[in-house]
Structures are given as structure tokens and as C-alpha cells.
Structure 1
Amino acid sequence: MEASGNTVPSIVVYVTVPSREAGKKLAQSIIKEKLAACVNIEPGIESIYAWEGEVQTDSEELLVVKTRQSLLEAQTEHVKANHEYEVPEVILAFLT
């Protein structure tokens, strides 16, 4: 990701989804809206988390979203608006 010979601040965003189908749908919408250069879908993760006072365990898929730092806010809003979960996870990882 370069602009005019200068490196553009790039980030990776992690988003969990409940199924492959949900992941593909969300990934395609992110790409269609030009909010990322690429989205990888990592299958078969197991998530253990607290929800409504209980410890939950679920099988999920992980989206690895490769984008620019300048698109983070728009991408986060897009995920919130188009995700199946009531409270979607959007975790940012900076690349150096």
C-alpha cells in the first residue's frame, strides 16, 4: 500500500464471525465499499468469552482485514452496521 512513493500507514483489523457464509458476505461488502485491500478468512477458530454473565464457547471464523489506518473509522462503522452479532468484535493491529 503506497502513495506517491511514500508508505501509507497500514493496519490489520481482526473481526470474528459466526460462520463461513457470514464471513464471506461481510468480507465482500468491505471490499465492495473499498474499505480494505484484502480480507482473509481463517476457518475453525474456537472462541471462549464472557457474555451476559456466562462463559461461552463458540466455533467462529476470523476475518483478517488488511486496510489503511485512514479507513479504520469507516470500516468499523461498516462492520457494526452489517455484522450478525449484536456487539461485533473489531480489533486493530498496527503494522510496522
Structure 2
Amino acid sequence: MPLLIFCTCPDADIAEHLARELVAAKLAACVNILPGVRSVYAWQGAIESAGEHLLLIKSHRERYAELEALLKQLHPYDVPEIIALPIERGSADYLHWMNSCLAID
């Protein structure tokens, strides 16, 4: 099953680095980087706010475990946001292209 995975990053350089690593490792077919995200969250008993970049990662359930492990290894946050949602529908051509990038039959 194809997945859309969300991951926030502290800045553009880290976002670009993570995106390139995921695509190079064939764990993501494509990663969109959305700058200018503002996150408000609870951390260590306080309400925090930070500017971030959001990664929209297109992958597949078969690659998820490796993708999550690589993100955790490379990400600077103690607890990076890694949330996966199933892609239930999409252009057949696009989904076929995704699978070919990820070496999924």
C-alpha cells in the first residue's frame, strides 16, 4: 500500500538532506518540502512554538520500517514527527511510477 508520510524539520538544509537521503536509498519516490510551517506543541512541560519545514514523503508500506529507521538515525530531534497515512486512491500512472522508484512489484 502506498503511504504519505509527514515529517517536520527545523530548517531547509536538514529538510533537503533528509529528502535526498530518502530518495537516494529508494525509501521514497518523491519528497515535497513545504517551508514556513509553524508548529505549536507541548515539550517537557512547556508549550513551545517553532518555525519548521514539513516533508511530504511518498513511499510504500514495504519500505516504511527502513524509512522510519533512517529518519530517526539522521534527524536532529529527540522525537521526530513521523506519521504515515495510507494513500487509498491516486492516479494509476503516478502510483505505478512510485512503485518503480521504490522497486515494488
- Please give the TM-score of this superposition, normalised by the length of structure 1: 0.90
Q: Read off the aligned partner of 1:38 and give its amino acid letter.
A: C
Displacement of 1:86 in angstroms is 1.2
Task: Establish whether residue 76 from structure 1 lines up as the match of residue 91 from structure 2.
Answer: no
Task: Give structure 1 regions of 4+ aligned residues with deviation exceeding 4 angstroms.
Answer: none
Instruction: In structure 2, list runs of 5 or more residues that go unmatched.
Output: 89-105
Instruction: In structure 1, list runs of 5 or more residues that go unmatched.
Output: 1-8
Correspondence for 1:90? 82
Paired residues for 1:1-96 under 5 Å: 9-96=1-88
Q: Percent identity?
A: 34
CA RMSD of aligned residues (A): 0.5
Displacement of 1:87 in angstroms is 1.0
Displacement of 1:84 in angstroms is 1.0
Please state whether the residue corresponding to 1:34 is helix, strand or coil.
coil
